[in-house]
Homo-oligomer: A and B are copies of this chain.
């Protein structure tokens, strides 16, 4: 199983990607082969400089880079020799089994949607985020994307995909699913939440515990938290800001430190046939290392296959 890495994505490319690879190779007991896509000379020089062992590495040269602010669809179409376009090409052909980038998020999403297939029946693949629980462990929140309007059936699918992820990747037996809402009782909420509740209640593939409220997000009442992209994105960014606030206030608190996104590395696109992981633009070595670890774990645990079964 080979993991492809876009070496040109992110604000500190390719240096931090190289360092992340170095740390991954030296710390993982059974590292996967890696295929590095980017400026061959630059990448080779850095690998040498950082004394990275080459046994498991292959470099594929990419002439072009998609910038962080380019229009996703246009850039993918016009820059066929970019590291992201090549990555998805290799992923579609099966030459790599997973693909990681800290580059243009939109281009990564578009690439995931159009280069590799969505799992059968999936209305819209989703991106999610890990939320540290106050009492220890983590939950998963989805959807946190930018196509903010959703249908009830999509939320129902998010619940299934999130449950599989929580079980296989977060290691939670029979994960509790909560619908993010403005009150605990059935019947509360906006039209979408009201229409989603019965779907989740009748869904035998998940362990639905009912509505959860804003105060439950951080305390871990549910392992899988489901909402549309608008609310999810606001919660995600508010949670991320807690790390910065903790730093600014010099809290030195273990819980607040866990909001450092570098610990989670990146967010996988769920609902597509192969692992695609999107990193933060400001990803450093630790984030890259953790993204590679995550991709490997997703392959080892057969996450996509299990999702396909549960969604069927």
Interface of A toward B, CB cutoff 8 Å: 134, 146, 148-149, 180, 182-183, 188-191, 193, 213-219, 228-231, 233-242, 244-245, 248-249, 251, 253, 255-256
- Whether A214 lies near B241 (C-beta < 8 A) is yes
Chain B residues with CB under 8 Å of A240's CB are 214-215
- Whether B238 lies near A214 (C-beta < 8 A) is yes
* Consensus secondary structure, chain A interface: helix
Complex Cα distance, B239 from A245, in Å, reads 13
Complex Cα distance, B182 from A228, in Å, reads 12
Chain B residues with CB under 8 Å of A229's CB are 182, 190
Closest to A149 in B: B190
Provide 23 A-B residue pairs closer than 8 Å at the C-beta atoms, listed in order of the A residue: A134-B245, A146-B188, A148-B189, A148-B190, A182-B230, A189-B230, A190-B229, A190-B230, A193-B230, A213-B233, A213-B237, A214-B233, A214-B234, A214-B235, A214-B237, A214-B239, A215-B244, A218-B238, A219-B241, A231-B234, A242-B242, A249-B253, A249-B256
Complex Cα distance, B249 from A148, in Å, reads 34
Closest to A237 in B: B214
- Whether A215 lies near B190 (C-beta < 8 A) is no
- Whether A234 lies near B182 (C-beta < 8 A) is yes
What distance in Å separates the Cβ of A241 from its nearest Cβ neighbour in chain B? 4
- Whether A253 lies near B255 (C-beta < 8 A) is no
What distance in Å separates the Cβ of A154 from its nearest Cβ neighbour in chain B? 13
